[in-house]
Amino acid sequence: MSVRDDLLAAAARVYAEAGYRGATTRRIALAAGVNEITLFRHFGSKDALLRDALSRTDDRPGAELPEEPRNPAAELLAWAGSHITDMRGRQALIRTCMGEFAEHPGLFVPENSGPVRAARALTQYLIRLRQRGLARAEFDPSAAAALLIGTLFADAMGRDIMPDLYANQPDKALREYIGLFLRGIGAEPKTRGAAR
């Protein structure tokens, strides 16, 4: 990794642990194994560094939905599994970002964030499902995408906070979410339990 990459990774890690105030340039530089002058030479300011670091964490590719849908149950299960696993892995960072968004909105680019891009991709996939006759119910694709993304997000962020609500095993819960979603859009598998 380059010095720039080290700084970006350290900034995201320190920000997730300590938030904006605790993510001092000194602490970030120390975590990256460089001096503060190097940090400022590469990024100019703490805000520029954090903005780049947070943007970079959103750029990780997840599973993609196919252009030619064939098996909605398997395709959605793989896609949702990839996204929920990624969110669980970035739980601390996501929670810190959410908690500090109002105070530091300039650090985030919500209109091009990972969840927004995922929702766009899912919306387009749902439109393709409908065009191919694989989703028979009447529904708004954007609302349906928001519903599934919101469900995945709530599980990824809330499982440790509300253990009674999320008492079932994560894999079983994911299969249930996808099964319910498929029934809701009229894309239920031909054989009962195929999404399970």
Q: What is the pLDDT of residues 150-173, one digit of tens each?
A: 999 999 999 999 999 998 999 999
pLDDT for res 190:
61
Four-way CATH pick for 3-57: 3.90.550.10, 1.10.10.60, 3.40.190.10, 1.20.120.1200: 1.10.10.60
Question: Distance between CA 107 and CA 91 in Å, rounded?
Answer: 18
pLDDT for res 192:
47
Residues 6+ apart with CB under 8 A from 137: 184, 185, 186, 187
pLDDT for res 143:
97
pLDDT tens digits along 100-109: 989 998 888 7
Average pLDDT score over residue span 10-34: 96
The kind and range of the H/E element at 82 are helix 72-89
The three-state secondary structure class of 105 is: helix
- Judged by average pLDDT, the poorest of 19-23, 42-46, 59-63, 164-168 is 59-63
Query: What residue ranges do the domains of the chain occupy?
Result: 3-57, 72-184
CA distances from 110 to 55, 116, 119 (A): 9, 7, 12
Cβ atoms within 10 A of the Cβ of 94, count? Answer: 21
Question: Distance between CA 146 and CA 154 in Å, rounded?
Answer: 12
pLDDT for res 60:
64
Question: Distance between CA 105 and CA 5 in Å, rounded?
Answer: 23
Q: Which two tokens stand for residue 88?
A: 């669980």
Answer yes or no: is pLDDT of 125 > 60.
Answer: yes
Answer yes or no: is pLDDT of 1 > 50.
Answer: yes
